[in-house]
Structure 1
Amino acid sequence: MAVRNIRYYGDPVLRTPCDPIAEIDDSVRTLIQDLLDTTDMEGRAGVAAPQIGVGLRAFSWHIDGRTGYMINPVLEEVSGEPEEIDEGCLSVPGLWFKTKRYPYARARGIDLDGEEIVLEGEGLMAQMIQHECGHLDGTVFVDTLAKDERRAAMRQIRESDWF
């Protein structure tokens, strides 16, 4: 399996809602392993399939020494008062912006055996669940910023050396 290159903001795959995974086959097993390999690096909390160029509903995560994945996740609950937190994204490298996120999130999906799994948490786990589910819906976190903040973020993105 492999660590895959990350697609950057501006790539159309990041703006396209992902298709559900209809059948778990060898290509899906390879995708999940590639997601896990790509996430298992310092400073990476999660990677969604579109970030490695694949338009399917899956993501992997690595938080507090634990690693996992979810196929066909559905963000089923967020709660608490949204808080502004510093957030970054591998698809927007080197840039961090204040983003409103709920302090608790829960998603439901399946694993490679087709068994239902639930991923939930607070803090960084909640932030990651919301962030990665956003990617699967075709949203990059800068799209969620308030108008003036988004304008400033877009200016920084356009001035970056990777854009």
Structure 2
Amino acid sequence: MNYKRWYVAEIIEEIRVEGEKENVVHRNFVLIQATSTEEAYQKALHYGKSYEATYENPEGQRVVSLFRGLGDLTQVLGEPQDGEEITYYRWIGLSENEIQEMILPKEELHVFRQYSSDEDADGPDIRSKDVLEELEPPYTPYDPYDPYHREPELNAQEVLAEVERLLGSVRDNGDDTA
């Protein structure tokens, strides 16, 4: 009997901005449900291709997003639910300092960070002009303690991307053994 299993696909996306020397690369983690590893692979490729887009940033520059390939495809053991482990990375021989660098204070966690228009001032502006114009000003982040705001729906892709962001710096430096 073929039953559906969950997989996590690491989608590598490159974004180039017209007139800029530097590119921006995203490692997006996408949750996929499939009956086989081959189906999961094909769906991961499909989702990766769906990231491809061309649009204009606020400065009027052309922005091109390209799917570059898969960084990984991992089967999730069990059914995803609150508190379920999705994936993990393993490091051997980390110093106390390296471990402490992986841990962020609450105010630096993605969900608590305050954003400004120059958030990505150190790189090309990859924001979509059209999307920014659709936002209702002023944009206020979700506050879990505000009784007038509804709790946002959990987005598995965003959760996985945030986990990767937190762990990515150590992994990108080649310090992991997984």
Greater C-alpha Rg: 2
Alignment TM-score, normalising by the size of structure 1:
0.23
Higher RCO (Cα < 8 Å, 6 or more apart): 2
Q: Which has the higher strand share?
A: 1
Alignment TM-score, normalising by the size of structure 2:
0.22
